[in-house]
Amino acid sequence: MLTPQRKKIIAVFLFLLLGLSFFFDIILGAVRIPLGDALNILTGSSSGNSVWITIITEFRIPKAITAILAGSALSVSGLLMQTFFRNPLADPFVLGISSGASFGVALVILTAGSIGINLFFLNGLLNKIGITIAAGLGAAVILLLITFVSRKVSSNITLLIFGLMLGYIIGALESMLKYFSSPENLQGYVIWGMGNFGNVIWSDLFLLIPIILFGLVVAFLLSKPLNLLLLGENYAVSMGVNIKVIRLLIIVAVGILGGVITAFCGPIAFIGIAVPHITKKMLNEFDHKILIPAVCIVGSILALLCDIISQLIWHEQTIPINVVTSLVGAPVVIWIIIQQRKVKHSLAVE
Amino acid sequence: MIEPAPILYTKDLAVGYKRKKSDDFILLNHLNLSVEGGELICLLGQNGFGKSTLLRTLTGVQKPIKGDFFINGKSINSYERSQLAKVLSIVLTENLSIGEVSVYSVVSMGRYPHNNWLGILSGNDRKIIDNVLEITGLTSHKEKIFTELSDGFKQKVMIARALAQDTSIILLDEPTAFLDIPTRIEILSMLRSLIKQFNKSIIFSSHDLDLALQTADIIWLITKDQKIEVDCPEDLVLNGHFEKAFNKKGIKFHPQRGIFKMNKVADTKIQVKGSKIDVIWTERALERIGISTDGNEKADGSIQIEKKDGRLIWNLDLNSQPVLFYSIADLIKYLKNR
């Protein structure tokens, strides 16, 4: 058990780290901008290089904000899934929500120009709103399916397996689309699939911020039933949790947080599964009313750091964010599996 | 005198499983049970006869097939989950793995039905939790990690949590399963003392016949005809219901001792004589290897236990062949190989 004193120190440290990584995510990038000029642009006191101003205000700041939103959203939905399924390896995408979103995107990108779905294209360029709508629809369809099934089956394990299988089916359909699509379209889809925080511009953020905030607030309101769910559904119900309502709300929150981020940034791997574990280990905490804000901060830091690394690792080139998140997140998952004893217990079917 | 109103009573309750295509599968039928304050009730019955199903129904998790039951005079159907959590708490046998959660935190969850939407503990909540930890002997363990405790302690923590929930009824599903005998006794005597202190009604299911006989005020005995016999344990023994409910081929209820014994067909009868305690344990050993010790019948032989120079000696006289033994082990070995 950590003393409140130490928890405060950790909190201060995390906020500092968040501020720093936000700052460096804006300062650093493929285009080198001297620190002094960058600071001047940030404080609005410079009338210098207009290209640099554009890069920072129109590209890097929205990208950093998107990283924070994505980090928070994915981590919180990962936390909700892990508690809900009482499975340390569950994350938002196990339910197939991101597969649904991906499939929507695949439909748009991969069939571009071939069967006349030019509705989503402007001058032959992909329109982001088109992708978002497609991803949102894809996620929504899967969400509805999962919700429907969750009313029928009482066991979380069954639901989890259902989600996994759904993911495979969608994956197969997606492969088929890929197989028949043109090389250019395939390339576009593959690049989207590698993830990117940089596709989001200010006008997108006005949509993204309220949606993600709504999802996070719903999650926070569920803190108390989530704590009770740690003891399993039976105990939770015996202590007054209306499991059907709570289950629906958890699925809605995860669907919003996971689905929308996937639409805007591509399927970002491992943040959802890794951050809750890192946070729990660091704070030694189980209480969701503390964990939810905490995973938001840790998730934001991790997303920002991964974004910084993706800018710096290759000279004057940005490598895909999924490469970095996988390199960081996969070891965490391996670490979880190595802690066999606990995993075995948590996966034990009652 | 006015009869006290029962805290819980069932009205023509039937429990089992609803089926869509065929007839419902009914395990227990026409139940008219009632629970008054301050009773320790043990639900006994063979496996598969509906113990867990009845408990699940009484917790409101499973719908009754027929009939209804009432808690504090109110039908279960008119209870919201959150209201029910204030009158009825449960303790299950699930093996929980909940990560790094302290004993104090688990017990504090018992206060959740009573506190605000964020589950923040008030001063009163903390007082109740401290008191509950004290009663259950967990005060010195409150900082420990729940998952790392022994099964017995985990069970105590879950009972403490149910106590913190401050309900008039506590249902426990097999609270002594998977525990060693001293811990079983400890848990059951703890339940007994809770009844006395808080005037709660506790219903627990069990396999443990002799412990149930010792601790329960009332036994709900599931019979073989889908009914429940309600009586004080001793009455159930004397009126033979116990025997009827449990007798199986090869097993026989022993009313003198309140235990079940393997009912082997004895081919030899031996009469044992000596001081009382020596006789009891020698008889147990003989019965284990299939030798009857019923004294009245015509015996094939006899054992006289004596004490000489501070040592016990067993004088066996079987088929007019006297043999002498210095331990039960030797005696048994001889009788087995004879």
Structural domains in chain A plus CATH codes: 4-347 (1.10.3470.10)
Q: Which of A234, A238, A289 sits opposite B118 (nearest CB)?
A: A289
For residue A341, give how far its alpha carbon lies from the nearest alpha carbon of chain B (Å).
10
C-beta separation of A307 from A64 below 8 A: yes
Whether chain A has a CB inside 8 Å of the CB on B149: the answer is: no
List all residues 6 or more positions away from A337 whose beta carbon is below 8 Å from its beta carbon: A89, A343
C-beta separation of A138 from A103 below 8 A: yes
Model confidence over A19-51: pLDDT tens digits?
999 999 998 887 778 888 888 888 877 666 788
C-beta separation of B273 from B279 below 8 A: yes
Among B residues 16-45, those touching chain A with beta carbons less than 8 Å apart: none
Tokens of B218: 């009332």
For residue A94, give how far its alpha carbon lies from the nearest alpha carbon of chain B (Å).
21
How many other C-beta atoms can be found within 10 angstroms of the C-beta atom of residue A176?
A: 12
Average pLDDT over residues A264-273: 86
Q: Output A189 or B99, whichever has higher pLDDT.
A: A189
Distance from C-alpha of B62 to C-alpha of A190, rounded to nearest angstrom: 49
C-beta separation of B9 from B58 below 8 A: no
Q: Is the pLDDT of residue A125 over 50?
A: no
C-beta separation of A222 from A188 below 8 A: no
Q: Which of A1, A242, A350 sits opposite B94 (nearest CB)?
A: A350
Q: How many residues does chain B have?
A: 338
Tokens of A59: 């590209």
Asked whether the beta carbons of residue B99 and residue A286 sit closer than 8 angstroms, the reply is yes
Model confidence over A163-187: pLDDT tens digits?
888 888 998 998 898 888 888 888 8
Model confidence over A146-156: pLDDT tens digits?
777 876 776 66
C-beta separation of A189 from A113 below 8 A: no
Range in B113-117, B252-256, B328-332 the model is least confident about? B252-256
How many other C-beta atoms can be found within 10 angstroms of the C-beta atom of residue A175?
A: 11
Query: Taking the domains of chain B in order of start, what are their residue ranges?
Result: 8-248, 268-337
Distance from C-alpha of B290 to C-alpha of B306, rounded to nearest angstrom: 24
C-beta separation of B221 from B228 below 8 A: yes
Distance from C-alpha of B217 to C-alpha of B234, rounded to nearest angstrom: 10
How many other C-beta atoms can be found within 10 angstroms of the C-beta atom of residue B338?
A: 11
- List the single residue in A with minimal CA-CA distance to B79: A240
Tokens of A45: 């006191």
- B62: phi then psi, degrees, rounded to nearest 5: -115, 140
Mean pLDDT of chain A, nearest integer = 82
Asked whether the beta carbons of residue B98 and residue A230 sit closer than 8 angstroms, the reply is yes
C-beta separation of A274 from A81 below 8 A: no
End-to-end CA distance of chain A: 29
Closest C-alpha among A138, A37, A152, A157 to residue A94 = A157
Residue B165: HSE in the Cβ half-sphere, 13 Å Cα cutoff:
33
Q: Output B168 or A141, whichever has higher pLDDT.
A: B168
Range in A31-40, B205-214, B258-267 the model is least confident about? B258-267
Q: What is the pLDDT of residue A190?
A: 84
Q: Is the pLDDT of residue A118 over 60?
A: no
For residue B242, give how far its alpha carbon lies from the nearest alpha carbon of chain A (Å).
31
Best of A235, A245, A280, A339 to disrupt the B interface (most B CBs within 10 Å) is A235
Give the Å distances, CA to CA, from B223 to B45, B66, B233, B245. 7, 19, 14, 5
Query: Which parts of A28-96 fold into alpha helices (H)?
Result: 35-43, 50-54, 61-85
Mean pLDDT of chain B, nearest integer = 86
How many other C-beta atoms can be found within 10 angstroms of the C-beta atom of residue A194?
A: 17
Average pLDDT over residues B280-308: 81
How many other C-beta atoms can be found within 10 angstroms of the C-beta atom of residue A7?
A: 17
For residue B102, the chain A residues in CB contact (below 8 A) are 1
Asked whether the beta carbons of residue B96 and residue A232 sit closer than 8 angstroms, the reply is yes
- B25: phi then psi, degrees, rounded to nearest 5: -95, 105
Distance from C-alpha of A85 to C-alpha of B145, rounded to nearest angstrom: 21
Predicted TM-score of the model (pTM): 0.82
Give the Å distances, CA to CA, from B196 to A204, B130, B152, B186, B202. 65, 19, 22, 16, 11
Tokens of B72: 């504090």
C-alpha radius of gyration, chain A, whole number:
21
For residue A241, the chain B residues in CB contact (below 8 A) are 81
What type of residue is B110? G
For residue B91, give how far its alpha carbon lies from the nearest alpha carbon of chain A (Å).
8
Q: What is the pLDDT of residue A19?
A: 96
Asked whether the beta carbons of residue A286 and residue B95 sit closer than 8 angstroms, the reply is no
Q: Is the pLDDT of residue A342 over 70?
A: no
Burial tier of A225 (Cβ tally within 10 Å: 0-12, 13-18, 19+) = buried
Residue at token pair 């393997």: B262
For residue A325, give how far its alpha carbon lies from the nearest alpha carbon of chain B (Å).
25
Using 50, 70 and 90 to split pLDDT, how confident is the model at B148?
confident
For residue A269, give how far its alpha carbon lies from the nearest alpha carbon of chain B (Å).
24
Tokens of A203: 């006008």
For residue A342, give how far its alpha carbon lies from the nearest alpha carbon of chain B (Å).
7
Which chain A residues have any C-beta within 8 angstroms of a chain B C-beta? Answer: 1, 221, 223-224, 227-228, 230-232, 234-235, 237-242, 280, 284-287, 289, 342, 345-346, 348, 350
For residue A222, give how far its alpha carbon lies from the nearest alpha carbon of chain B (Å).
8
Counting one residue from chain A and one from chain B, the pairs whose CB atoms sit within 8 A come to 81
Model confidence over A59-113: pLDDT tens digits?
899 999 999 999 999 999 999 988 887 777 777 666 777 788 888 888 877 776 5
Q: Return the CATH architecture of domain B268-337.
A: 2-Layer Sandwich (3.30)
Pairing of strands B301-308, B268-273: parallel
Using 50, 70 and 90 to split pLDDT, how confident is the model at B169?
very high
Distance from C-alpha of B114 to C-alpha of B85, rounded to nearest angstrom: 9
- What value of ipTM does the predicted structure carry? 0.81
C-beta separation of B9 from B172 below 8 A: no
Best of A222, A231, A233 to disrupt the B interface (most B CBs within 10 Å) is A231
Q: Which of A232, A239, A342 sits opposite B94 (nearest CB)?
A: A232
Give the Å distances, CA to CA, from B193 to A258, B136, B177, B186. 51, 10, 20, 11
Best of A218, A226, A239, A242 to disrupt the B interface (most B CBs within 10 Å) is A239
DSSP A112-139: TTTSS-GGGEETTEEPHHHHHHHHHHHH
Q: What is the pLDDT of residue A133?
A: 72
For residue A223, the chain B residues in CB contact (below 8 A) are 118-119
For residue B105, the chain A residues in CB contact (below 8 A) are 286-287
C-beta separation of A324 from A293 below 8 A: no
Element (H, E) at B262: strand B259-262
Task: Please state at what angle helix A97-110 crosses helix A183-193, rounded to 10 degrees.
Answer: 150
Asked whether the beta carbons of residue B110 and residue A239 sit closer than 8 angstroms, the reply is yes
For residue B92, the chain A residues in CB contact (below 8 A) are 232, 234-235
Asked whether the beta carbons of residue A240 and residue B81 sit closer than 8 angstroms, the reply is yes
C-beta separation of B315 from B322 below 8 A: yes
Element (H, E) at B164: helix B151-164
C-alpha radius of gyration, chain B, whole number:
25
Among B residues 97-136, those touching chain A with beta carbons less than 8 Å apart: 97-102, 105-106, 109-110, 112-113, 117-119
Burial tier of B148 (Cβ tally within 10 Å: 0-12, 13-18, 19+) = exposed
For residue A230, give how far its alpha carbon lies from the nearest alpha carbon of chain B (Å).
6
Residue A47: HSE in the Cβ half-sphere, 13 Å Cα cutoff:
0
Using 50, 70 and 90 to split pLDDT, how confident is the model at A119?
very low
C-beta separation of A255 from A93 below 8 A: no
Q: Is the pLDDT of residue B239 over 70?
A: yes
Task: Classify domain B8-248 at the CATH topology level.
Answer: Rossmann fold (3.40.50)
Model confidence over A178-212: pLDDT tens digits?
888 888 888 878 888 888 888 888 888 888 899 89
Q: Output B4 or A261, whichever has higher pLDDT.
A: A261
Average pLDDT over residues B23-39: 87
